[in-house]
């Protein structure tokens, strides 16, 4: 019983972390058709920037804020200066963003070193809650609550606000949105920045749970791609459901069949692509 | 003379000079050239899919790895004959290529990129996890040089192995030239440009793509054979995305869809990696910048750029 409760908690917390990363990736793809492998670099940079801020100031909240803001700026520069120039060339985007991923991971290795590091959690989230004879690590519970709150906030913005309506329209037909007078380039830039900020914040939150280390960028972006493929490229609801599926399959797969740990991401991904390439909630 | 004859004569001359060079260069330089030739064959294979057929596979290290592991296993457990090892390796690569091709060709466009990447990572995971067969993350070690059964060619020395690698690359280039010049190759380029029209003309578009996929995997397996007998070991890194992406970069920087472009691209990238990593530890930064610059400034590759400039001058 305790085993399963803990696995469910671990699966949910991983799922919420994945959602923070994959939601941006998915909406960015839906709107701009960009396959951005450097989205993993946003996570990595967020984690490392958060680490530095935390070591300087001791404030976890400031770490999240600074990481999200700086990564958003880096993301927007990247979108304007590089990715926009290979618009429409899918292989070109993949290779260019892979190049960006290599550069950032190498520079991060140089700057922050190669040892895995963990961010200190705020004191009040250390330890565990006791409930019905079971222990629940407080940090994971908080991460789950935080993930649901962010999901709700994004959903409200996309479905209930004017800018959200423009974004939804852009996913359907970006040319038409431009034609009726919206500055589509500015919308692209803002959405890209917001996606990068979410991934940067996820780097801080994830760095306090899983640690931050060289290679986390690539690991995370592949998991996020699995989520997005399963949920459907461009679909926010798909990113949420996909995060839950991958979060649980990864956690439970690793716990029950550790020798198959490396297959828990890619096998569901390939299966979905073969059976239904557009994913659960994507449009063909 | 016809341009194709000139090109053939130049190719023969280049390979003859290259063969003569083998005895003159230091063993470090010869080893570097062997690396170049191995990746040139791999890039040549990917180009059939990416450049000719327009299918951007991002998991080509998988077939390279299957070929290398198979040849290594044959050497360790069955026979030290080069020909048995090579035949088994190419057959295994093409078999895996056939299975992956069946799966990947259910998708198109951006989904094709993603599924080939995912299949490549599954292959990496198999190489990593199937410890009893592949040695896990240690890989296979102690693979000796093979027996070619040819008197007079001693592949135990670097210079001797260089001749084998050169012959292997020349054979691959010749075979690829036959393939792309054949009606089959014409049909692949037709599919690249307009698949609907080719289907309307009665071509079985799916079958052509599938065959291109399998043949391309076979070339990658051949490259894996030359690789594993040269290095004497194979580990999961050779199967992963970093190698797959690098081969794709080689094809693009040289010129996708041209015959000689992938060769040039492989030489350029391998040379650069050796030279730059001799000067700085920040080799990955330089490689990343190379990806970015190629996509910005030469997305069609060197051969195409030079060809366009040449034609512009002649017509001016």
Read off the pLDDT of residues B219-261 as tens digits, 9 standing for 90 and up: 999 999 999 999 999 999 999 898 999 999 999 999 888 888 9
Query: What is the longest distance spanned by two Cα atoms in chain A?
Result: 61
Q: What is the pLDDT of residue A48?
A: 97
- Residue A91, chain B, CB below 8 Å: the answer is yes
Does residue B116 belong to any structural domain of this protein? yes
Does residue B259 belong to any structural domain of this protein? no
Burial (CB count <10 Å: 0-12, 13-18, 19+), residue B4: exposed
Q: What is the pLDDT of residue B98?
A: 98
The answer to whether the CB of A167 falls within 8 A of the CB of A191 is yes
Q: The tokens of A224 are what? A: 């996020």
Does residue A242 belong to any structural domain of this protein? no
Q: What is the pLDDT of residue B316?
A: 66
Does residue A57 belong to any structural domain of this protein? yes
Does residue A284 belong to any structural domain of this protein? no
Q: The tokens of A17 are what? A: 């972390």
Which are the contacts of A211, defined by CB distance < 8 A and separation ≥ 6? A116, A117, A118
Closest CB to B122: pick one of A102, A263, A274. A263
Does residue B212 belong to any structural domain of this protein? yes
Cα separation, B135 vs B137, in Å, equals 6
Element (H, E) at A171: helix A162-172
The answer to whether the CB of A100 falls within 8 A of the CB of A82 is yes
Does residue A281 belong to any structural domain of this protein? no
Cα separation, A221 vs B225, in Å, equals 32
**Cβ pairs A/B, distance under 8 A:** 114
Does residue A275 belong to any structural domain of this protein? no
**Structural domain containing residue A209:** 7-214
Q: What is the pLDDT of residue A257?
A: 84
The answer to whether the CB of B187 falls within 8 A of the CB of B198 is yes
Q: What is the pLDDT of residues B256-315, one digit of tens each?
A: 888 889 999 999 999 988 888 888 888 889 999 999 999 999 888 888 888 888 888 887
Whether B172 has a pLDDT exceeding 90, the answer reads yes
**Which residue of chain B has the CA closest to A103?**
B285
Does residue B274 belong to any structural domain of this protein? no
Does residue A257 belong to any structural domain of this protein? no
Whether A28 has a pLDDT exceeding 80, the answer reads yes
Burial B179-213 (b: 16+ CB within 10 A, else e): bbeeeebebbebbbeebeebeeeebebeebbbbbb
- Residue B269, chain A, CB below 8 Å: the answer is no
Q: Which ipTM score applies to this complex?
A: 0.90
- Chain B residue numbers with beta carbons less than 8 Å from the beta carbon of A104 are 288
**Structural domain containing residue B202:** 3-238
Whether A74 has a pLDDT exceeding 90, the answer reads yes
A2-32 and A39-57 helices, crossing angle to 10°: 120
Whether A284 has a pLDDT exceeding 60, the answer reads no
- Chain A residue numbers with beta carbons less than 8 Å from the beta carbon of B115 are 269-270, 273-274, 277
- Residue B200, chain A, CB below 8 Å: the answer is no
Does residue A122 belong to any structural domain of this protein? yes
Q: What is the pLDDT of residue A56?
A: 94
A266-275 and B110-129 helices, crossing angle to 10°: 140
Asked if B284 lies within 8 A of A106 by C-beta distance, the reply is yes
Our count of domains for chain B comes to 1
Q: What is the pLDDT of residue B2?
A: 67
Whether B75 has a pLDDT exceeding 80, the answer reads yes
Q: How many other CB atoms sit within 10 Å of the CB of residue B242?
A: 16
Question: What is the rounded radius of gyration, in angstroms, for the C-alpha atoms of chain B?
Answer: 19
The answer to whether the CB of A44 falls within 8 A of the CB of A174 is no
Burial (CB count <10 Å: 0-12, 13-18, 19+), residue B232: middle
Q: What is the mean pLDDT of chain B?
A: 91
| Number of residues assigned to chain A | 284
Our count of domains for chain A comes to 1
- Chain A residue numbers with beta carbons less than 8 Å from the beta carbon of B114 are 35, 225, 229, 269, 273
């Amino acid at each position: 019983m305790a085993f399963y409760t803990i696995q469910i908690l671990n699966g949910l917390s991983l799922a919420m972390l994945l959602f923070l990363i994959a939601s941006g990736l998915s909406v960015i793809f839906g709107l701009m058709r960009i396959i951005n492998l450097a989205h993993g670099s946003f996570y990595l940079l967020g984690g490392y920037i958060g680490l530095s801020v935390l070591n300087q100031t001791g404030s976890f909240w400031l770490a999240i804020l600074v990481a999200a803001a700086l990564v958003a700026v880096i993301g927007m520069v990247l979108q304007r200066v590089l990715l926009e120039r290979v618009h429409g060339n899918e292989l070109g985007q993949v290779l260019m963003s892979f190049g960006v991923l290599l550069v950032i991971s190498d520079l991060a290795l140089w700057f922050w070193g190669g040892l895995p590091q963990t961010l200190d959690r705020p004191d009040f989230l250390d330890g565990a809650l006791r409930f019905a004879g079971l222990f629940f690590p407080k940090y994971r519970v908080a991460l789950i609550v935080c993930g649901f709150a962010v999901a709700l906030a994004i959903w409200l913005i996309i479905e209930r606000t004017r800018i959200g309506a423009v974004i939804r329209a852009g996913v359907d037909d970006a040319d038409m949105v431009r034609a009726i007078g919206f500055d589509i380039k500015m919308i692209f830039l803002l959405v890209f920045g917001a996606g990068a900020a979410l991934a940067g914040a996820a780097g801080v939150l994830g760095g306090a749970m899983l640690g931050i280390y060289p290679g986390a960028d690539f690991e995370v972006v592949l998991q996020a791609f699995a989520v997005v493929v399963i949920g459907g490229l461009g679909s926010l609801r798909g990113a949420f459901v996909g995060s839950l599926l991958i979060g649980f399959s990864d956690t439970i797969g690793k716990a029950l069949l550790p020798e198959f740990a490396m297959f828990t991401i890619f096998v569901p991904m390939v299966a979905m692509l073969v059976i239904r390439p557009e994913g659960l909630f994507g449009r063909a | 003379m016809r341009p194709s004859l000139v090109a053939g004569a130049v190719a023969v001359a280049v390979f003859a000079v290259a063969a003569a060079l083998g005895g003159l260069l230091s063993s470090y330089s010869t080893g570097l050239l062997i690396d170049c030739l191995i990746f040139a064959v791999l890039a040549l294979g990917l180009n059939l899919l990416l450049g000719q057929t327009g299918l951007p596979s991002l998991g080509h290290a998988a077939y390279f790895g299957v070929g290398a592991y198979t040849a290594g296993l044959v050497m360790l457990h069955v026979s030290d004959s080069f020909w048995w090892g090579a035949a088994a390796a190419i057959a295994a690569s093409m078999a895996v290529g056939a299975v992956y091709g069946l799966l990947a060709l259910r998708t198109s466009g951006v989904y094709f990129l993603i599924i080939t990447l995912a299949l490549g990572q599954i292959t990496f995971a198999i190489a990593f996890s199937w410890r009893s067969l592949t040695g896990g993350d240690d890989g296979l070690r102690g693979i000796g040089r093979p027996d070619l059964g040819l008197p007079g060619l001693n592949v135990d020395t670097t210079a001797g192995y260089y001749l084998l690698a050169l012959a292997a690359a020349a054979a691959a280039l010749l075979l690829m030239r036959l393939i792309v010049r054949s009606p089959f190759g014409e049909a692949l380029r037709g599919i690249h440009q307009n698949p609907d029209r080719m289907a309307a003309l009665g071509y079985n578009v799916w079958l052509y793509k599938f065959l291109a996929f399998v043949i391309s995997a076979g070339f990658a397996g051949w490259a894996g054979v030359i690789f594993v007998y040269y290095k004497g070991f194979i580990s999961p890194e050779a199967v992963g995305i970093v190698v797959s992406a690098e081969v794709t970069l080689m094809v693009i920087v040289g010129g996708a869809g041209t015959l000689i472009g992938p060769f040039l691209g492989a030489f350029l990238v391998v040379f650069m990696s050796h030279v730059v990593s001799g000067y700085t530890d920040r080799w990955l930064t330089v490689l990343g910048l190379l990806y970015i610059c190629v996509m910005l400034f030469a997305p069609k590759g060197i051969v195409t750029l030079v060809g366009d400039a040449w034609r512009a001058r002649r017509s001016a």
